[in-house]
Structure 1
Amino acid sequence: MEDAISRTPRNTRVAVVTGGNRGIGLEVCRQLASNGVAVVLTAVDEKMGAEAVEKLQGLAVSDVLSHQLDITDASSIARLADFLKTRFGKLDILVNNAAVCGVVFIRDHADASVTSGEMFKGMDRDERLEWLWGNCRETYDAAKEGLQTNYYGTKHVIEALLPLLQASYDGRIVNVSSDFGLLRCFRNEELKQELNDTDNLTEERLDELLAMFLKDFEAGGVEERGWPSAFAAYKVAKAAVNAYSRILARRHPELRVNCAHPGYVKTDITLHSGLLTPEEGAGNVVEVALLPERGATGAFFEEGKELASFV
């Protein structure tokens, strides 16, 4: 679907949305395009990406094209970067939305009894999260995949597309994060302090901390070492994304680099147990992507509101 955007004027903003073929990502694509942004919707499966573009076209959203992207595959990332450089010569907005849950689901996310939402009526957030946790189990392989995708995949996409973002007069990176990545989820005060001290924290130290987490996870020492409990790998990966975002914001003041928590959204990754619709969740992300020029950077936005800290 690389011909959906026939000609893009130089002054038109160009966005890439990872994991854009469904859920929050698809809706982010729709809302950005509706705001006059030329959108490159990426998906692991090329066919699914093309079908998502067709779906948007059926909603009269035309300024969107698809491109294959597996954020855990260096060659796939390189192909996307080459395409963007050739086609547009720049990138104005990068929305890193692609993610995995870091757990194994016991229940099928396509189960009609779940997707209908009937079972969640009358449940508050805590009750829904308790239900979700009861339908998951943590394994080492799932935890490792969670870190590789949610942190390293996001990081590698940013590194590859950074020169194109710097070619924009107002480049922006929005890393879709979670309140699960806030440091209040950690029980080890030393870990919290180190992850919060982004003036001194390095990427190399982040690598060491993530390796330490996996080692503790494999040894059954997550609780003892004070790592987050329940959805541990997801929380640790999102905390790493938050820390890396702050490092990037300090290193590249010419860019706007922010984290956005869309809210507890009804998607496959939550087994449709969330409180918000994908449209509502995406709106919280798009609001950050379209902040006024030279606005906030190195910040965390929770459902559209900037928090005072990452703690």
Structure 2
Amino acid sequence: MMNTLVIVVTGTNRGVGKGIVQLLARQQLEQPLTIYATSRSGADTGIQASSTNVIKYGKLDITDQTSIQSFLQSVLKEHSAIDVLINNAAVSNDYRETPEYAEETIRNNYGGTKNMCELFLPNMSRKPWSRIVNVVSGYNQLSKYGLEIQEKFRAVKTISDIDALGESYLGAAKQGQDAQKAGGWGSGARSYKVSKALILAMTMLLAKQNPEIMINCCCPGWVDTAMGHQAKGTPPKTPEEGARIPVRLAVGDLGVNGDEDGGLGKESERISGKFFENDSIISTEWGKSKLWLET
């Protein structure tokens, strides 16, 4: 167990999170994997791991710092540090958007991911393969926001700046659709997209602040999950296909040599602060990197 790669994944009871655990579990890399599959229920989803890997299930509520601390301490009793953190847990209330549900989405998705990063970062290993992966959305081009909001995203220098952007959105949403649109946040149900944009901004900031860890984010595409079915039509990708980019960012080659097959288990270029996605949300490829703040 001393030579194992310790990976924590959130939101693994279903969907892309479960797909991430499935894809990781069957890898037979030079270094064995200890995969902590976490969710609020801590449910054992019955995934079979290869002979070299181990899956451990745990209860974890990313919105509750006490829950995170308790889980973190349980891991640190067995391992000196965490090597890879995959922040996948999220909710979408687009189908029932109200100011109250918008706040729930921001607090869960952005607030919960922020909690995980802040509490885990001091306990991450500083080895060459140490990584954080934040699962976000491709529907977050800055061009979708007003010019003033775009500039505020580009000007972010602290977590407090990102918090302020989230509060600005929630304040506008509470005043109604006209105020939300006039404030540069767009019209319609926007809380899920805004929550992911906040995570994108946080990813870029944390990558600058923690150069010894590779911190990136990615969009899994349009996946056959409960969340994927909130959009019109039939999601074409399986959860494991949606897991390919997050798994690449966790244990693969992040350079161009990993674009074709993920380069899982291979030595990687040190790439951080990037957003990875495919050219199409229905593509089953392993993703390509780009700078989100330039879009």
Q: TM-score range by the shorter chain?
A: 0.7 to 0.9
Corresponding residue number in structure 2 for 1:88? 79
Corresponding residue number in structure 2 for 1:207? 163
Corresponding residue number in structure 1 for 2:138? 179
User: Whose helix proportion is higher, 1 or 2?
Assistant: 1
- How far apart are 1:270 and its partner, in Å? 2.1
Number of aligned pairs?
Answer: 263
Residues 256 and 294 in structure 1, CA contact (< 8 A), matched pair in contact too:
no
- 2:48 partner letter: Q
Corresponding residue number in structure 1 for 2:14? 22
Residues 14 and 39 in structure 1, CA contact (< 8 A), matched pair in contact too:
yes
- How far apart are 1:34 and its partner, in Å? 2.1
Task: Decide whether aligned partners of structure 1 residues 275 and 231 sit closer, same or farther in structure 2, where only a CA change above 3 A counts.
Answer: farther
Distance, in Å, in 2 between the alignment partners of 1:309 and 1:204 is 20
- 2:288 partner letter: K
Residues 178 and 238 in structure 1, CA contact (< 8 A), matched pair in contact too:
yes
Task: Decide whether aligned partners of structure 1 residues 230 and 286 sit closer, same or farther in structure 2, where only a CA change above 3 A counts.
Answer: farther
Corresponding residue number in structure 1 for 2:149? 191
1:63 equivalent to 2:58? Answer no
- How far apart are 1:264 and its partner, in Å? 1.2
1:219 equivalent to 2:175? Answer yes
| Structure 1: gaps (5+ residues) | 1-7, 104-135
The counterpart of 1:77, out of the listed 68, 72, 82, is: 68
- How far apart are 1:27 and its partner, in Å? 1.2
Corresponding residue number in structure 1 for 2:36? 40
- 1:274 partner letter: P
Q: Deviations over 1:64-97 (max 9, x none)?
A: 0101001011111011110111111111110000
Corresponding residue number in structure 2 for 1:139? 98
| Structure 2: gaps (5+ residues) | 254-267, 279-286
- 2:105 partner letter: G
Could you tell me the percent identity over the aligned residues?
Answer: 33
- How far apart are 1:216 and its partner, in Å? 0.6
Distance, in Å, in 1 between the alignment partners of 2:290 and 2:17 is 23
The counterpart of 1:101, out of the listed 92, 105, 109, is: 92
Corresponding residue number in structure 1 for 2:289? 306
TM-score (norm 2): 0.84
Secondary structure of 1:179 counterpart: coil
TM-score (norm 1): 0.79
Distance, in Å, in 2 between the alignment partners of 1:265 and 1:229 is 24
Distance, in Å, in 2 between the alignment partners of 1:61 and 1:146 is 37
